[in-house]
Amino acid sequence: MANRHADTIADELEDMILDGRFANNDRLDEVQLAQRFSVSRTPIREALQRLTQAGLVEQIPRRGAFVRQPGAIELIEMFEVMAELEAASARFAAMRMTDAALGDLNDANEKCMKAMQDQDADSYYRENERFHHIIYAQSGNSFLEAEAKRLHRRLKPFRRLQLRLRGRLRQSMSEHESILEALANGDPEMAAQVTRQHVAVQGEKFHHLIATLKIAAE
Amino acid sequence: MANRHADTIADELEDMILDGRFANNDRLDEVQLAQRFSVSRTPIREALQRLTQAGLVEQIPRRGAFVRQPGAIELIEMFEVMAELEAASARFAAMRMTDAALGDLNDANEKCMKAMQDQDADSYYRENERFHHIIYAQSGNSFLEAEAKRLHRRLKPFRRLQLRLRGRLRQSMSEHESILEALANGDPEMAAQVTRQHVAVQGEKFHHLIATLKIAAE
DNA sequence: GTCAAGTTTTTTGTATACAAGATATCCAAA
DNA sequence: TTTGGATATCTTGTATACAAAAAACTTGAC
């Protein structure tokens, strides 16, 4: 990609923002960050530019850079788009997927299941991510794969939240089964539909969660 | 957004690349560009960073920035994704669209038709773009709208190419009619399907065009 | 004439310097 | 006490300086 220093700084800042280590609208002071990373302002500014492009930071001219956590509405919109990208991936994958990849997908799903039974959250997240990434890759469309990965990563912290809802995990696994079945049958429309539903419901659950939190806060 | 100078420079460079004023793999020399724009290297570097993020430029560490025109395969992939984004927009629009917007869409379509009869290419492109942008906006999903606009813009120069094919324009207009009808009927699945087809066929026509050009070149 | 090692020249990436705009502080008047 | 304006301070945005890496060139051996 680009220059090493600014690159790694951007990655670190991205992680920090996505992990929620900054509050919304926190100002990212250039000199402070420069000191923290022991570099000059130049690579910091490059990193901030990158984050701005990625939508994680908003830069206001002559005012500075502010972390920009998406609001509830924007998150729902993003989940909606994610559902469409996943549905499209699944549709293509149903037609283009290799047998070997189908085996991998099955493997990821079984490990997901096992992780759920073992209450092993880390393992669950890892295998669930693998499950979805395999579908993106098997769309046979690298551009789609890249876009899907990008948005998937952006939504990661919020997916975790939503999975805490009672019964959601088990339901999610059953949806995986339907996806697997549709892909195994090579049924593009079915694959697209169940996959869209699988992701869209995450957005809805998330919405529900937000609403609940709001009520609880009153 | 960000700083004025680097901003406008990025926009200008973007236009130049999208208009094809640079060949693929052309190196974008920082000092040369700095002189051309009468600024220092700093804002140039910021602009190049932005273009890299947008996928128009590839930066190789310690080597420089190179314009990166998508190849045939990548273009087909991008058209495939565009088709999905448009289809999703149309699906949502079928459910959420206002009557006023439906009127606007009809208006854009009629002006498109008129432009075709008048052989007025500029007017055609403008109204065609308006047609599609209305659908994005009426998806009621700003995030989707932004993503669709972004990709639409990226594909702009290649859509123009494809429209030169004999009979393509008339076919395209008839597809617009089907889209309008589905939206007017509030039929989400039909709207998604005809819209996907409308855009996907552009990719196929484009593919066909490329193949033809290659044969002609031999 | 070709190739390879060593040297010079470019070019990138980072640090620092400086200018202009934004924010904060202070003081006086109502 | 509060408000308004003038001044001081801080912060961003751009220019310049410098170090290190890559490319280009030179020179010498075969």
Comparison of pLDDT for B24 and B165, the residue scoring more: B24
* Alpha carbon distance B43, B2 (integer Å): 11
**Nearest chain B Cα distance for residue A1, angstroms:** 6
Structural domain boundaries enclosing B128: 72-217
Select, from the ranges A15-19, A154-158, B41-45, the one with the highest average predicted confidence (pLDDT). B41-45
pLDDT band, residue A149 (cuts 50/70/90): very high
* Alpha carbon distance A84, A163 (integer Å): 20
Q: Which of A67, A83, A103 is the last residue of a domain?
A: A67
Q: Based on the fold, state whether residues B90 and B198 are members of the same structural domain.
A: yes
DSSP type of residue B19: T
Q: Based on the fold, state whether residues A50 and A149 are members of the same structural domain.
A: no
What are the phi and psi torsion angles at A29 (to 5°)?
-75, 130
CA of B45 to C1' of D25 (A): 28
Three-class secondary structure of residue A60 per DSSP: strand
Element (DSSP H or E) covering residue B159:
helix B142-162
| DSSP letters for B83-151 | HHHHHHHHHHHHHH--HHHHHHHHHHHHHHHHHHHHT-HHHHHHHHHHHHHHHHHHTT-HHHHHHHHHH
Element (DSSP H or E) covering residue B66:
strand B64-67
Contact yes or no for A78 and B52 at CB 8 A:
no
State residue A1's pLDDT score: 45
State residue A217's pLDDT score: 64
Contact B128, A62 (CB under 8 A): no
State residue B217's pLDDT score: 65
Contact yes or no for A80 and B52 at CB 8 A:
no
Of the CA atoms within 13 Å of residue B84, those in its CB half-sphere come to 27
Q: Which of A26, A46, A67 is the last residue of a domain?
A: A67
Q: Based on the fold, state whether residues B89 and B188 are members of the same structural domain.
A: yes
State residue B167's pLDDT score: 83
Q: Based on the fold, state whether residues A11 and A119 are members of the same structural domain.
A: no
Q: Based on the fold, state whether residues B91 and B170 are members of the same structural domain.
A: yes
Q: Based on the fold, state whether residues B84 and B58 are members of the same structural domain.
A: no
> Does A108 touch chain B if contact means CB atoms closer than 8 Å?
no
Q: Based on the fold, state whether residues A163 and A79 are members of the same structural domain.
A: yes
Q: Based on the fold, state whether residues A134 and A193 are members of the same structural domain.
A: yes
Is the model's pLDDT at A4 over the cut of 50?
A: yes
- Could you identify the residue written with the tokens 């490329």? B210
CATH number of the domain residue A92 falls in: 1.20.120.530
Q: How far apart are the first and last CA of chain B?
A: 48
Q: Based on the fold, state whether residues A17 and A95 are members of the same structural domain.
A: no
Q: Based on the fold, state whether residues B112 and B194 are members of the same structural domain.
A: yes
pLDDT digits (tens, 9 = 90+) for B205-218: 888 887 887 777 65
Token pair for B85: 């984004």
pLDDT digits (tens, 9 = 90+) for B47-65: 999 999 999 999 999 999 9
* Alpha carbon distance A138, A151 (integer Å): 17
Contact yes or no for B77 and A144 at CB 8 A:
yes
pLDDT digits (tens, 9 = 90+) for B15-56: 999 888 999 999 999 999 999 999 999 999 999 999 999 999
Q: Which residues pair with B65 in a beta bridge?
A: B28, B59
Contact B131, B157 (CB under 8 A): no
Q: Which of A67, A93, A114 is the last residue of a domain?
A: A67
Considering its fold, how many domains does chain B have in total? 2
State residue B212's pLDDT score: 81
Percent of chain B with pLDDT over 90: 77
Percent of chain A with pLDDT over 70: 96
Q: Based on the fold, state whether residues A59 and A29 are members of the same structural domain.
A: yes
State residue A107's pLDDT score: 97
CA distances B112 to A37, A138, B122, B214, Å, are 55, 38, 10, 31
> Which residues in A lie closer than 8 A to residue B46 (C-beta atoms)?
45-46, 49
State residue A19's pLDDT score: 84
Q: Which residues pair with A57 in a beta bridge?
A: A67
Contact yes or no for B143 and A1 at CB 8 A:
no
pLDDT band, residue B1 (cuts 50/70/90): very low
CATH number of the domain residue B13 falls in: 1.10.10.10
Q: How far is CA A117 from the centre of its chain?
A: 24
Of the CA atoms within 13 Å of residue B203, those in its CB half-sphere come to 21
Three-class secondary structure of residue B21 per DSSP: coil
Q: Based on the fold, state whether residues B80 and B95 are members of the same structural domain.
A: yes
Q: Which of B3, B80, B92 sits opposite A61 (nearest CB)?
A: B3
Write the CB contacts of A172 (distance below 8 Å, at least 6 apart in sequence): A128, A163, A198
The residue of chain A with its CA nearest to that of B62 is A3
Comparison of pLDDT for B177 and B169, the residue scoring more: B177
Nearest to A91 by CA among A203, A183, A173, A10: A183
Write the CB contacts of B60 (distance below 8 Å, at least 6 apart in sequence): B66
pLDDT digits (tens, 9 = 90+) for B74-124: 999 999 999 999 999 999 999 999 999 999 999 999 999 999 999 898 899
Quick one: CA torsion of B206, B209, B211, B215, rounded to 10 degrees?
-170
